[in-house]
Amino acid sequence: MHPRIRLAQSGDARAISDLVRASFRAHIAPDWQAEAQEAFVSETTAEKLAGPIVDAAFAAVYEEVDGPVVGVILLPRPSLVQLCFVATTHLRRGIGRSLWEEARIFLETQVPDTKTVELNASPYAVAAYTAMGFFPISRPYRRQGAVATRMACWLPARALEGAPDAA
C-alpha cells in the first residue's frame, strides 16, 4: 500500500468519526433536514464506527506523514462504499481518488467477482465521484431528509477502455 494509506483499525474510530462529522457538517449537512443531520451524526460516533471498521470488506485511512488521519474509505461489503471522506483542509489533493484506487485494487485482486460498486453521493460530491469513474444511476432524491444521488462504478470498464478495439 501507498505509505500514507493503510488499513483502518478499530483504534482509528475516534479520528475517523471526527473527520467524517466535520466534513459532513461543512459540505453535506446544509442540504439535509435537521432530523437527517442528527441521525447521521449519531450513527458516526467512534463507538458506532469501531465495529463496522473491523467487519468491513475494505476500510482504509490516509494519514499525513507522522500526522493525523485526513481521509477514510469504508466498504461494508464489496459492492458498497458507505463512507469516503477527506478533511476539509485537504480537499482537491487526490486523497479521495487515492483511497478509491486502493479499494478498487483490493476488489479487483481479492474479490474479483465484484463487478459494480455503488454509493450515495451528496450534491457536493457528485463531481468528485464522477472524476473517479462513478456515474449517476438515479436523479438526486430526498429520503428521510437526506439528499443523495445514487452512483455506480462498473469495475471492468477500465480494462475494456484500454482494449485495442475500444470505441
Structural domain of 27: 5-161
Q: Does 167 map to a domain? A: no
Burial class for 66, CB neighbours closer than 10 Å (0-12, 13-18, 19+): exposed
> Which regions of the chain does DSSP assign to beta strands (E)?
5-7, 58-63, 69-75, 83-86, 116-121, 135-136, 141-143, 146-154
Q: Does 166 map to a domain? A: no
Q: pLDDT value at position 3? A: 55
Domain total of the chain: 1
Between CA 90 and CA 71 the distance in angstroms is 8
What is this structure's pTM?
0.92
- Write the pLDDT tens digit of every residue in 14-50: 999 999 999 999 999 999 999 999 999 999 999 999 9
Q: Does 60 map to a domain? A: yes
Residue bearing the bigger pLDDT, 61 or 165: 61
Confidence of residue 157 (pLDDT cuts 50, 70, 90): confident
CATH number at residue 80: 3.40.630.30
